[in-house]
Amino acid sequence: METVTLTPKAQPELFIDAENITPDAFAGKSAAEIAGLSVFEGNQTQTLGQYFEVAGKAAATADETKIVIKGDVTKVKYIGMRMTGGEIVVEGSADMYVGAWMEGGRIRVKGNVDAFSGTGMKGGELEVDGNAGNYLGAAYRGDWRGMQAGTIRVHGNAGSDLGTFMNGGTIIVEGDVDVHVGTHAEGGTIIVKGNGKSKIGGQMVKGEIYVFGTIDVMMPGYVYREDVDLEVDGESARFALFEGDMGERHGKRKGQVIYGKIYQKY
């Protein structure tokens, strides 16, 4: 595995769109070539080298390429967008759209990420040591095909609207979440280790949401079914199972109606 190190230098005046910071774009390139890749600052096209010191070189393929960003990139969007393999480590915090539409590989952010991280994710792993903003693992605006597969793990808290239109994959938030969790979900798993607020599973027709802490207001479209003993993300506990959202259309499988499921830990 070859490593490319990006060290932030001048902070950009505007937020920059850096969809080229991916193992796929870097693969097969030298440090100088990587520094020449384009980024957008406002409506201007600039080069990566204007904002980062680039050291090391990339491997021939994305899978064999690791990118380490040394420091905070809170004004850099789209890190790891649509990446298919390899690894990215951000040693500070990053802005919006980290790992958006990623299809494979790993991203680890040691600080926080802002909104829309993991949007429309199709595979791979995204791990955030700090907190995540709103719309974590949600669908792109207007799309009914949200996160399809892959895993997102946030060690801190997450904002509102996570997992909107989720179709598959797993989102684990070890802290608390804000309102609107798994809205419109048609699959996938959301695990909240901390507390939830309200509007959890609204319009969900399929998929599972596990909440370890409190839920301020349960959606009226959910019905309590039974207690179940489960092991979730390495923890064994007893959960209350709710099914819903009863206000929605639900499909059938082998004669059984499929519902969205909310498990709340006792």
Partner 1 sequence: MAEYLIKNGFVFDPVLEINGDKVDIAIKDGKIVQSTEIKNPTVVDAAGKTVMAGGVDIHAHVAGPKVNVGRNYRPEDKLFNYEPRKGVKRMAGGFSVPTVFRTGYKYAQMGYTTVMEAAMPPLYARHTHEEMRDTPILDQGAYPVFGNNWFVLEYLKNHEVENAAAYISWLLRTTRGYAIKIVNPGGTEAWGWGLNCNSIHDPVPYFDITPAQIMKGLMDANEALRLPHSIHIHTNNLGNPGNYETTLDTFKLFQGEKPNNDFGREQVMHHTHVQFHSYGGDNWGNVESKADEIMNYVNNNDNMTMDLGCVTLDETTTMTADGPFEHHLTELNHLKWANTDVELETAAGVVPYIYSPNVKVCGIQWAIGLELALLAKDPMRVFITTDHPNAGPFFRYPRVMKWLMSQDAREAQMDALKWAEKVRSATLLSGLDRELTLYEIAAMTRAGTAKALGLSHMYGSLKPGLEADVAVYDYNPETAEDPELIEKAFGNAAYLFKGGEIVVKEGEVVSNGNKKTLWVDAKVAENPQVQRDVAEKFLRYYTVTQANYEVNEKVFMKNPYRIEVDATQ
Q: How far is the CB of 143 from partner 1 (least distance, A)?
A: 4
Q: How far is the CB of 164 from partner 1 (least distance, A)?
A: 13
- Strands, E assignment, the chain: 2-8, 16-17, 38-41, 44-47, 52-56, 65-69, 76-77, 87-90, 106-109, 125-128, 151-154, 170-173, 186-192, 206-211, 223-232, 235-244, 252-253, 256-257, 260-265
**Residue 25, φ and ψ in degrees, nearest 5:** -75, -30
Distance from C-alpha of 48 to C-alpha of 160, rounded to nearest angstrom? 32
Q: How far is the CB of 81 from partner 1 (least distance, A)?
A: 10
Stretch that binds partner 1, among 63-71, 139-147, 214-222, 252-260 (CB under 8 A): 139-147
Q: Tell me whether residue 144 or residue 224 sits nearer to partner 1 (CB atom).
A: 144
15 binds partner 1 (CB under 8 A): no
3-state helix, strand, coil in the chain (%, to 5): 5, 40, 55
Q: How far is the CB of 159 from partner 1 (least distance, A)?
A: 20
**Which tokens sit at 153?**
């793990």
Q: Tell me whether residue 249 or residue 252 sits nearer to partner 1 (CB atom).
A: 249
- The structure tokens 């997102």 sit at 152
Q: How far is the CB of 183 from partner 1 (least distance, A)?
A: 14
In the list 140, 194, 237, 265, the residue contacting partner 1 (rule: CB under 8 A) is: 140
- Neighbouring residues of 20: CB distance < 8 A, sequence distance ≥ 6: 37, 38, 39, 48
Please work out the total of residues on this chain that contact partner 1, with binding judged by CB under 8 A: 6
Stretch that binds partner 1, among 3-11, 46-54, 141-149, 221-229 (CB under 8 A): 141-149
Interaction residues for partner 1, span 238-257 (CB under 8 A): 249
Q: Tell me whether residue 15 or residue 40 sits nearer to partner 1 (CB atom).
A: 40
Q: Tell me whether residue 8 or residue 187 sits nearer to partner 1 (CB atom).
A: 187
Using CA atoms, how far residue 201 sits from 155, 180, 239, in Å, is 22, 7, 16
Q: Tell me whether residue 87 or residue 161 sits nearer to partner 1 (CB atom).
A: 161
Stretch that binds partner 1, among 3-11, 136-144, 155-163, 229-237 (CB under 8 A): 136-144
Q: Tell me whether residue 108 or residue 250 sits nearer to partner 1 (CB atom).
A: 250
Q: How far is the CB of 249 from partner 1 (least distance, A)?
A: 7
142 binds partner 1 (CB under 8 A): yes
Distance from C-alpha of 254 to C-alpha of 247, rounded to nearest angstrom? 22
Q: What is the DSSP letter of 167?
A: -
Q: Is the peptide bond before 233 cis (omega within 30 degrees of 0)?
A: no
- The structure tokens 């207001």 sit at 217
In the list 10, 141, 234, 253, the residue contacting partner 1 (rule: CB under 8 A) is: 141
The residues of the shown chain that bind partner 1, judged by CB under 8 A, are 140-144, 249
